[in-house]
Structure 1
């Protein structure tokens, strides 16, 4: 009797192996996406509960929400994308001023 597991992938055809690899990749992606959503929910909960202690903290919160907003914009909405970019550049510039 052999106690070693049988590698079933070796006994499948190429199409079946590719299908199995795709299913495994999709399962991993879904798991990673769920983990990311969970971490994002924790972060957003903290952003809601904890008031900003300084202007840079408030700008960091605004930067986060602006990036979410920009990611949801249609690609042809260049006016709003440019506006978000200008605001983020203002935040970066103002962070370095006394």
Structure 2
């Protein structure tokens, strides 16, 4: 028996190493996806908890919904992408005007 652990990956072929790396990466992606879904659920719970107290809070909720829509296939239409961008610009412009 040796004191130094044997690196088993070095003794396998390239195909086996790539398959192992791919399995590890897929496992990490699945874990990250689950964590993201959990955080998204927590955010949506917060957004649902209370009504907005100001137009800015309502705009933040609308921004979130627009970002979800923008990532959907329907939101990928060029005209809808432009409309979403313009609405977000309006929110930003009106928010700064309200602060002045």
Q: Which runs of 5+ in 2 are unaligned?
A: none
Q: Deviation at 1:4?
A: 4.5
Cross-structure match for 1:24: 24
**CA deviation after TM superposition for structure 1 residue 5, in Å:** 3.6
What's the TM-score once normalised by structure 2's chain length? 0.88
Listed as ranges, the gaps of 5+ residues in structure 1 are none
Determine the C-alpha separation between the residues in 2 that align with 1:5 and 1:12. Answer: 15
Q: Which has the higher contact order (CA 8 A, sep 6+)?
A: 1
| 1:86, distance to aligned residue in structure 2 (A) | 1.1
The TM-score with structure 1 as length reference comes to 0.89
Q: 1:55 to 1:75 in 2, by over 3 A?
A: closer
**Superposed displacement of residue 43, structure 1:** 0.4
The number of aligned residues is 98
Distance between the aligned counterparts of 1:15 and 1:63, measured in 2?
45
Contact 1:59 1:91 in 2 (8 A): yes
1:40-85 per-residue CA deviation (whole Å, 9 max, x = no partner) reads: 0010011011221211111000000011001103476112211111
Q: Whole-Å Cα distance in 2 between the matches of residues 76 and 46 of structure 1?
A: 27
- Contact 1:73–1:81 (CA<8 Å) still a contact in 2? no
Instruction: Give, in whole Å, the separation in 1 of the partners of 2:4 and 2:40.
Output: 42
